[in-house]
């Protein structure tokens, strides 16, 4: 069966495509420009079950229709959405693509017909309420909701807040659309990952550390800081591996009970000191680049926790640990720097 993956050149989407292909699915990826078509095909070694099409405007159902109509999918993974902080025009560059993008794909699926399930890649930021502060007693689950709105995104004091609002408003818009379109013939599943860390697929490595995706950049900023430097402050203390994130996407196609569910994807809370400590343990080379800081000090003891055990049960996943993830990612990060 054919699965469409939007934003197929993205960090998480590339892993979703690889996992789908390895399990025998056919995949049609969408990217926003022609130059990225070849790049995605090359990453997957021109796999015969992969095709890639251009969808120039992810906020336009018509744009999807003309690209997908010749070959309509039975399921769609919707991952295309901005995840960066390089803008001051929050509405145009973050909020509109996330919010209009999340309903445009639903509208397109309705017009296409034949789609059975849409997996929406949302985020822990759709769950987390920053206003409430550290809340050491609180344990976040998929039942919690960020209060941030579209307007909070437009008027945000900084880009990270605007991003959080864009995702929360985007997820809310998708659920509202589903409520207003009962009997549409497909259901949605919402996946809400924490910061997604992990190795790049061969062929999908960024050309330099400056081109790293927003989440892996966090790891790079810690492990490259220098032995005697401060450990950078932890900003978003929940994480999950990219392999598990991709696997969760594919599992939602295989678990009928996932219909209409919202899942938190989280291996747990972390802090940058913990990344530094584990990275020093697993480093073979470049250990001198990793800051010592205050070994063993764990910020997580002073703030909220997360519980994603429901997701493990429902989707049959065991979350990969920090040490295994870093063993794969860290050598790649230093190689990317060397070759840049
Ligand atoms: P990437 O930046 O690697 O990929 C983002 C994808 O979305 C790219 O294909 C990008 O295209 C596309 N995209 C971004 N903005 C636009 C736009 N305005 N119009 C059309 N396409 C656009 O991000 P990730 O793989 O990390 O993220 C994928 C999804 O997962 C996003 O929805 C993100 O919010 C969500 N997520 C990510 C987390 C993480 O830690 N990485 C955590 C939680 C959720 P192009 O390359 O052309 O810019």
Chain segment 229-269, per-residue pLDDT in tens: 999 999 999 999 999 999 999 999 999 999 999 999 999 99
Q: What is the C-alpha R_g of the chain? A: 19
What pLDDT, in 10s, does the model give residues 80-103?
999 999 999 999 999 999 999 999
229 alpha carbon to ligand 1 midpoint, in Å?
31
Whether the pLDDT of residue 152 is over 90: the answer is yes
283 lines ligand 1 (CB under 6 A): no
Contact predicate 32/56, CB 8 Å: yes
The per-residue pLDDT for range 24-42, each reduced to its tens digit, is: 999 999 999 999 999 999 9
Pocket lining: 97 vs ligand 1, CB cutoff 6 Å:
yes
- Distance between CA atoms of residues 52 and 55, nearest Å: 10
Q: Cβ(163) to ligand 1 under 6 A?
A: no
Contacts of 167 (CB under 8 A, 6+ apart): 81, 98, 122, 123, 125, 126
**Centre of ligand 1 from the C-alpha of residue 7, in Å:** 7
3-class state of residue 163 by DSSP: helix
**Ligand 1 atom at minimal distance to the Cα of residue 193:** 43
Whether the pLDDT of residue 285 is over 90: the answer is: no
Taking the CA atoms of 81, 267, 237 and 143 in sequence, report the sign of the dihedral they define: positive
Kindly report the protein residue whose alpha carbon is nearest to atom 48 of ligand 1: 82
Of the candidates 91, 64, 74, the residue with the CA atom closest to the CA atom of residue 25: 74
ipTM of the complex: 0.99
Ligand 1 atom 42: the closest Cα is on which residue?
195
Nearest CA-CA partner of 162 in 193, 125, 190, 217: 125
Average pLDDT over residues 310-329: 98
Mutate to test the pocket of ligand 1, among 5, 36, 82 (most ligand atoms within 8 A of CB): 82
157-216 per-position pLDDT tens digit: 999 999 999 999 999 999 999 999 999 999 999 999 999 999 999 889 999 999 999 999
The domain spans of the chain are 2-273+298-339
Distance CA 83, CA 98 (A): 9
pLDDT (0 to 100) of residue 301:
87
Reading the block at residue 122, the tokens are 């949302």
- The predicted model gives 270-293 an average pLDDT of 95
Among 5, 7, 263, which is best to mutate for testing ligand 1, by the most ligand atoms less than 8 A from CB? 7
Ligand 1 binding pocket includes 196 (Cβ within 6 Å): yes
Percent of the chain with pLDDT over 90: 97
Architecture (CATH level 2) of domain 2-273+298-339: 3-Layer(aba) Sandwich (3.40)
Mean of all residue pLDDT scores within the chain: 97
Q: How far does the centroid of ligand 1 lie from the alpha carbon of residue 180, in Å?
A: 27
- Over residues 272-283, the pLDDT tens digits come to 999 999 999 999
């Amino acid at each position: 069966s054919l699965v469409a993956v939007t934003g197929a050149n993205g960090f998480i989407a590339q892993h979703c495509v690889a996992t789908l292909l390895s399990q025998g699915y056919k995949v049609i990826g969408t990217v926003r420009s022609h130059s990225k078509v070849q790049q995605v095909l090359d990453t997957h070694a021109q796999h015969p079950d992969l095709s890639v099409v251009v969808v120039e405007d992810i906020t336009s159902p018509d744009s999807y229709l003309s690209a997908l109509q010749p070959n309509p999918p039975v399921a769609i993974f919707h991952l295309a959405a901005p995840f960066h902080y390089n803008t001051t025009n929050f509405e145009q560059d973050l909020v509109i693509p996330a919010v209009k993008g999340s309903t445009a794909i639903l509208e397109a699926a309705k017009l296409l017909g034949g789609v059975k399930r849409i997996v929406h890649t949302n985020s822990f930021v759709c769950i987390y309420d920053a206003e409430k502060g550290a809340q050491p007693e609180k344990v976040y689950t998929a039942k919690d909701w960020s209060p941030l709105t579209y307007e909070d995104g437009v008027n945000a004091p900084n880009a990270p807040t605007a991003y959080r609002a864009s995702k929360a408003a985007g997820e809310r818009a998708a659920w509202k659309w589903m409520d207003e379109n009962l009997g549409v013939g497909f259901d949605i599943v919402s996946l809400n990952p924490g910061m997604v860390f992990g190795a790049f697929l061969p062929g999908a490595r960024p050309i330099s550390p400056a081109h790293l995706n927003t989440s892996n950049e966090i790891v790079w900023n810690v492990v490259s800081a220098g032995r005697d430097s401060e450990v950078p402050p932890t900003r978003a203390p929940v994480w999950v591996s990219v392999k598990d994130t991709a696997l969760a996407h594919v599992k939602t196609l295989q678990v009928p009970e996932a219909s209409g569910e919202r899942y938190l994807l989280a291996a747990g809370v972390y802090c940058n000191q913990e990344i530094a400590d584990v990275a020093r343990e697993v480093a073979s080379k470049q250990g001198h680049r990793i800051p010592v800081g205050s070994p063993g000090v764990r910020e997580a003891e002073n703030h909220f926790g997360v519980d994603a055990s429901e997701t493990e049960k429902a989707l049959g996943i065991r979350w990969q640990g920090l040490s295994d993830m870093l063993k794969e990612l860290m050598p790649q990060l230093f190689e990317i720097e060397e070759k840049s």
